[in-house]
Amino acid sequence: MELLSYMRLFVEVARTKSFRRAADALDMPNSTLSRHIAELEKTIGLRLLHRSTRKVELTEAGEVYFKRCQSIVEEARIAHESLLDVAERPSGTLRVSMPVDLATGYLAPIIADFAKTYPLIAFEFDTSPRPVDLQTEPFDLAIRIGPPPTAPATLVARPIGVLPRYLYASPEYLRSAAPLTHPNDLDRHVVCIVEGATRLGEVARTFYRGDESVDVTVGTRFAMNSVALSRALAMRGVGLAVLDDVLALDDVKLERLVRVLPDWSLAPLQVHAITETRLLPARTRLFIDFVKARLRES
């Protein structure tokens, strides 16, 4: 049992390449962690880590040992947590990275219901726009909008939902703007808020109506990566916003926004749950399944 415990500590140091970060994740003193790793190396009879004041790197033996230990430690953790599955009382801390717009617009009520269903699970959420590294940072999963990542190849992407996209504008904007009855009319709407744009200029978009599709180029005066900001600006009459019907629902009811080109839509966006491994603890697997089921209902 002591050897398995040491292996778990070694895997954390190897993943983070830092004794300090590993000690924080394991909630133990740095000196204790260093001593246990030294005891492990003494037991094995090989040096596993190159230590310096600036970084920690795996030795050749450490690389081999890490590959074997990672799966062993993961299997042991899953075996232990499967007992909680039997009792239907999963616990522990679930650490999730996700876009803030998706979190507040869609996932907040789903998370609240999940928390009520599984009261022993605690949560740590990161909604910053930075891409997290699931291999070196202590996240159980990342929820991402768009195509699944292609690197690193070890990541596992599970599709959990699809977000439709439509054009919305405020009544104020439509009263003073050029007529808008077909996607080709968008070339006269140079003041556009294009969700997902990061640079100013003309942006190509494809609109769909059943089996029909139209490629158009729209102009944008406001470039951003925030759906919430584009929605807020659209409500103030400065242009068009690309939104899904759930996020726009309340604004449409209050007549702050109107769906334009109602027969047309843009290509929907996929939502994926990204994990570093297929071996998932109960709380992570249950959360993914819960979110997937609720997104399909919306």
Residues 254-272: tens digit of each pLDDT: 999 999 999 999 999 999 9
What is the DSSP-derived secondary structure letter of residue 256? S
* Judgement on whether residues 282 and 146 belong to the same structural domain of the protein: yes
174 & 264 share domain: yes
Look at residue 71 and tell me whether its pLDDT is greater than 60. yes
Average of per-residue pLDDT across 46-60: 86
Q: What does the mean pLDDT of the chain come to? A: 87
In angstroms, the CA 227 to CA 243 distance is: 7
Share of the chain above pLDDT 70, in %: 92
Query: Average pLDDT for residues 217-231, to the nearest whole number?
Result: 82
Q: For residue 48, is it within any domain? A: yes
User: Is 106 part of any domain?
Assistant: yes
Residue 191 has pLDDT above 80, yes or no: no
Percent of the chain with pLDDT over 90: 48
Question: What residues contact 38, with CB distance under 8 A and at least 6 apart?
Answer: none
pTM over 0.75: no
Question: What domain range includes position 108?
Answer: 89-152+277-297
Per-residue pLDDT at 201: 67
Instruction: Assess if residue 11 is contained within a domain.
Output: yes
pLDDT in the model for residue 110: 96
CA dihedral 219, 223, 226, 230 (to 10 degrees): -50
**Taking a C-beta distance cutoff of 8 angstroms, is the pair 258, 168 a contact?**
yes
The reply to whether 24 and 109 lie within a common domain is: no
Query: Are residues 281 and 147 part of one domain?
Result: yes
195 pLDDT exceeds 60? no
Query: Has residue 158 been placed in a domain?
Result: no
**Burial group, residue 281, by CB count within 10 angstroms (0-12, 13-18, 19+):** buried
Q: How confident is the model over 136-186, as pLDDT tens digits?
A: 888 999 999 988 888 788 889 999 999 999 999 999 999 988 899 999 998
Q: Are residues 81 and 109 in the same domain?
A: no
Q: Quick one: which of 123, 67, 65 has its CA closest to 90?
A: 123
Q: Tell whether 115 and 61 lie within a shared domain.
A: no
Please tell me which of 189-198, 226-235, 238-247, 265-274 the model is most confident about, judged by mean pLDDT: 265-274
CATH number of the domain to which 229 belongs:
3.40.190.290
Are residues 168 and 137 both part of a single domain? no
**177 and 259 together in one domain:** yes
Residue 199 binned pLDDT confidence (cut-offs 50, 70, 90): low
Question: Please, which residues have CB within 8 angstroms of residue 174's CB and are 6 or more apart in sequence?
Answer: 180, 258, 260
34 occurs within a structural domain: yes
Residue 45 sits in a domain whose CATH number is: 1.10.10.10
173, 257: one domain = yes
Q: How many domains does the chain have?
A: 3
Q: What is the pLDDT of residue 55?
A: 80
* Rg, the chain, Cα only: 24
Query: Residue 157 domain-assigned?
Result: no
Token representation of residue 45: 């009879």
Report yes or no on 190 lying in a domain: yes
CATH of the domain at 287: 3.40.190.10
The model's confidence at residue 72, banded by pLDDT at 50, 70 and 90, is confident
Give the residue from 66, 86, 106 where a domain finishes.
Answer: 86
Domain final position from 59, 86, 113 = 86
Residue 275 dihedral angles phi and psi, to the nearest 5°: -130, 160
- Is the confidence at residue 208, as pLDDT, over 90? yes
Residue with tokens 């195509």: 147
Flag whether 6 is in a domain: yes
Query: What integer pLDDT is reported at residue 193 of this predicted model?
Result: 62
pLDDT value of position 68: 86
Stretch 70-98: mean pLDDT, rounded? 78
Comparing 89-93, 114-118, 158-162, 220-224, which segment has the lowest mean pLDDT?
A: 220-224
Both structure tokens of 56: 């920690």
Looking at the fold, whether 290 and 147 belong to one and the same domain comes out as yes
